Amino acid sequence: MCGHEWSAEEGDAPAEAEAAVVTRDAVGNPLADGDDVTIAKDLKVKGGAGIKAGTKVRGIRLLESPVDGHDIAAKVPGAGQMYLKSSVVKKA
């Protein structure tokens, strides 16, 4: 017997673990599509006024493949559609 053999069940384990990735907010709460969140700290925005801490964002959408580390797509009041990092939001 070869020591480098594996069963078919073992080969599927990494794929299942990859599908079980959970996006968490700044406090550690799991996030899901459609959740409402609040911004946890002031954010600087290119070409405009920043976003203040405590701003409520409704109906977030989680991204399957993050864009430059941003894993949430949302419409922020006063700033429009943008990507956010889960580390700067808290579940409302």
Q: Which tokens is 27 given?
A: 């406090």
Evaluate whether residue 12 is within a structural domain.
no
CB proximity list for 49: less than 8 A, separation 6 or greater:
78
Evaluate whether residue 3 is within a structural domain.
no
Evaluate whether residue 13 is within a structural domain.
no
Q: Is the pTM higher than 0.85?
A: no
Evaluate whether residue 61 is within a structural domain.
yes
Evaluate whether residue 11 is within a structural domain.
no
pLDDT in tens, 35-82: 999 999 999 988 878 899 999 999 999 999 999 999 999 999 988 999
Longest CA–CA separation in the chain, Å: 66
List the Cα angle 61/73/29 in 5-degree steps. 60
Evaluate whether residue 40 is within a structural domain.
yes
* CATH code (residue 46): 2.30.30.40
Specify burial of residue 44 (Cβ count, 10 A radius: 0-12, 13-18, 19+): exposed
pLDDT band at 21 (very low <50, low <70, confident <90, very high): confident
Q: Domain count for the chain, please give it.
A: 1
Evaluate whether residue 35 is within a structural domain.
yes
What does the DSSP 8-state code read for residue 45? -
Domain membership of residue 66 as a residue range = 24-91
